[in-house]
Amino acid sequence: MKLILLLGIFMVLLLACPSQGQNEVTELIFNITSSWNGRSTVPENEIIEVRFYAPEHTFGVRGFGIDIKAPFYDDPAPSGNPGRFDGLWDYEVVEVFILGNDDKYVELEFGPHGHYLVYQLEGYRNTTSTTQELHGYSTVINKTEKVWHARAFIAEDQLPEGDHSFNAYAIHGVGKDRVYMALYPNLDESYTSPDFHVLEPFEPIDLTGLITSGALDSVATNHWVQFSLLFLLACKIFA
């Protein structure tokens, strides 16, 4: 009888133990299709894709990944070497702003030629840090297909604390042909020019399921540890 009860408990625990990936979000994908004020949209071949994901490699710290796929317009490139580059917003660029508590937000900018920047801000355009680095930023340009890809790792400590909301933007073109796009456009008609530091259009984003230490199977491992402990406890009870 004890053996039957023990086997019954074993089966219940086995069924209750979630498998890896069950009910877990490992990526969030967003498409930038609108002008900054929502008055126009782009054709399908000019859509910018921004993907947040749980990476396998995290450079020894907790964080999440961002992938970008965007049209390549071959605007003049920044003159500096690839890496952190102030003023990247004056070039061909994709931007992600993530807002936390107390109007603290991080500004992430990604260029097709390997340039990036990370600004920390507290309040409207009030920059508190401009020198942070990105781990493993890489880009690939396909001039034949006129598209570029970028991949970045964002450390958890680069995020503002609290519940998060965000917006994403893209800029290209030169001079009077400069084009400004937004994932969530600013529909307030009192604005006559783009200002990406206006936080009202931001929408919530839950990054908690994407932030990882790099071992994507760690969740499943934890489930099996819990299962083993419960099974041993059951064995002790029915011994």
CA angle at residue 138 from 132 to 141, to 5 degrees? 135
Task: Record the pTM.
Answer: 0.81
Q: Which residue has the tokens 């760690």?
A: 218
pLDDT at 221: 41
pLDDT at 236: 54
Q: Is residue 164 within 8 Å of 98, Cβ to Cβ?
A: yes
pLDDT at 213: 87
pLDDT at 25: 74
Spell out, as residue ranges, where the chain has pLDDT lower than 70: 1-24, 214-239
Residue range 46-74, pLDDT digits in tens: 999 999 999 988 889 999 999 999 999 99
Residues 6+ away with beta carbon under 8 Å from 73 = 92, 146, 172, 173
